[in-house]
Amino acid sequence: MGEESMERYSRQVRFSPIGEKGQKSLSDKSVLIVGVGALGTVLANHLVRAGVGLVRFADRDYVEMSNLQRQMLFDEFDVKESLPKAVAAERKLKAINSNVKIEGIVTDVTIDNLPSLIEGIDLVLDGTDNFRTRFLLNDMCFKEGIPFAYGGAVSSRGMSALFIPGKTPCLRCFINQGDGNGQTCDTIGVISPVVDIVASYQVVEVLKYLVGDEKSLRGTLRSFDLWKNHQFDLKMHDAKESCPTCQTKEYPALVEAEDHVTTLCGRETVQIQRHEPIDLKRWATTLESVTETKLTPFLLRAQLPEGERLVLFPDGRVLVQGTEEISRAKSLYSKYMGG
């Protein structure tokens, strides 16, 4: 280690479980963070400051005023300039640590581009806001043998776990696809300390793994509610025998079709066709606390604070009116319907 690196990482090196050997190991590692919002900004901040050799992150959104309450790398200038989150985060982090290779990629992470994003990556971290993407990451990581650090935060609740192919069960063994019932930060809110704690739990386990101290790994799915003072650890012993990811190796997220997305020509509308029907009454109850809604026997209309409008139909169709940008429409859909 050079003199500058010794000074920069001196307090971390003095922590005996890491030491100089562990610090050198970190500098040789590469990680991918998917999502640079609330969780992702904390994850990236810690890992860049810790000296991980390559920190790559991908995000499709741009910075908005409502992000500033909990997304630590952004400021009012980023909002004014409508900067993509990946661009704004990359600028901030490069000013923090020039010794780390930082790659901010503006993209919607999909089945098609995920293989290139994980190329050369030692570990993937979850900074997303929806379970569709989480299951995609879970399945891709277990297929390719890459550890996956899961994290989720909403309201005053948080969850985190490090899943390691061949050594632990996977995310599907603990959480069913479709869990969440539309509960997102944009529908029921979130307090920023929950975000910080979840991301910190993720990073601690990641650091243990990257420096080779696997005996110190927590080995649990940790869930907590800060407001109600609850905490629970579910030990990761046995996988579900029928798990299609880590047991039967079917990797459903890698073969199932995504929700079909179409731009409706001349209508400034994007249509998202879900694979399941929509209960209009349930979604009216979910959305009415944050948007102006109108329910009819045939559809549910929700005027969003951002200016666009969602129109939900019982057959699974969702129209995002007010934009022709597919990435924008998918972001709003994830915000209010949980992906």
DSSP letters spanning 182-223: T--HHHH-B-HHHHHHHHHHHHHHHHHHHTT-GGG---EEEE
Q: Given 141, 170, 173, 185, which residue is catalytic? A: 185
Give yes or no: 185 in active site.
yes
DSSP 155: B
Whether residue 305 contacts residue 290, with contact meaning beta carbons closer than 8 Å, is answered with yes
Question: Can you say how many angstroms the Cα of residue 300 is from the centroid of all Cα atoms in its chain?
Answer: 28
Whether residue 152 contacts residue 197, with contact meaning beta carbons closer than 8 Å, is answered with no
Q: How far is CA 336 from CA 169, 200, 217, 283, 312, in A?
A: 30, 26, 35, 10, 12
As beta bridge partners, residue 59 has 106
Number of C-alpha atoms within 13 angstroms, CB side, residue 176?
4
Active site residues: 185
